[in-house]
Amino acid sequence: MSRQITYIQAINEALKEEMSNNHQVVVLGEDVRVSPFGQTAGLLNEFENRVINTPIAESAIVGTAIGMAMAGMRPVVEIMFSDFTYLAMDQISNQAAQWRYMTGGQVKIPLVIRTLSGGGWGLGYNHSQSTEASFMHPPGLKIAVPSTPYDAKGLLKGAIRDDNPVLFFEHKLLLAVTGEVPEEDYTVEFGQARIVRRGKDVTVVAIMSMVQKAIEAAEELGREGIDLEVIDPRTLAPLDLATILSSLKKTGRLVIVEESRKQGGVGAEIAAKVVEEGFDLLNAPVVRVGAPAVPIPGSPALEQVYLPGVAAIKAAAQKVLE
């Protein structure tokens, strides 16, 4: 059996191993030398000149990293909260995402942007949003949304080795989660979903922290005779639509669960793709579970009302079975 480590430790190990294996890998961002949440802890001791504290200027951070990537380095940027990725939207979406295409493949952009996503800490608006759906629109970006320590380490190592820009979302509530992670070197393939739980009645596609809530909903509904199949896409770009459609051939019903807002969300894109390519597989309309289109409340009590939970997932599964 593999050893058990936390999500934070998995991220930290991936960074250390890739920095040891490739001297072109550098880490930069706000307070990465101190590491307030632990992902970059200890890197300064081993790689002093390659762990760079930056000013509080997200656009400048990403812009600098793009130049480093063009020059042959492999920068790993830390944007402290995913809300702040909007401050670097031009650099990410217009520059990093499209320069390889614009130069006919002559310029590679091996850039990773890591960021903390989601609510649950009661930090209020501008520190609690899930922004991953915003980056599904620009072409040229890869998007990782790992829900386990195993996937966090494997996807991050693969992202650092990739010649394309990758947005890497780490959910706050997953940081302390433990899981099996092998000591030997490995990567997790982008565009390959994981079937977390097999079932026959309803396919549930869940993103990041919603995976565990979907499992809890499945266990509760299982006692009522309703069998959910839970799928973790692991990456949103590329998206493993084939695994979702294969599941729908069996269940005929789809629920998509995300913490981000339903309006223009990940679920909307997945639902559209399913309808375009697998409409005949559906025995009921697709149901999406997500947050309302309002700012995230700062009050912990109100935040819990805002965030999707087990009850909403159960209600959605029951709805598609009516």
Catalytic residues, by residue number, are 127
86-310-289-158 Cα dihedral, nearest 10 degrees: 50
How open is the CA angle 222-224-226, to the nearest 5 degrees?
55
Q: What is the DSSP letter of 188?
A: -
Query: Is residue 6 within 8 Å of residue 178, measured between CB atoms?
Result: yes
DSSP E strand boundaries for 139-223: 142-144, 166-171, 178-180, 194-197, 202-206
Of 78, 207, 205, nearest in space to 148 by CA: 207
> In sequence order, what DSSP letters do the residues of 77-145 get, joined into one string?
EEEEEGGGGGGGHIIIIIIITTHHHHTTTSS----EEEEEE--SS---TTSS---GGGGSSSTT-EEE-
Query: Is residue 253 within 8 Å of residue 320, measured between CB atoms?
Result: yes
Judging by DSSP bridges, how do beta strands 228-232 and 202-206 pair with one another?
Answer: parallel
- How far is residue 117's CA from residue 81's CA, in Å, rounded to a whole number? 6
**What letters, b where the CB count within 10 A reaches 16 and e where it falls short, cover 156-167?**
bbbbbebebbbb
Query: Is residue 155 within 8 Å of residue 169, measured between CB atoms?
Result: no
Of 44, 50, 1, nearest in space to 23 by CA: 50
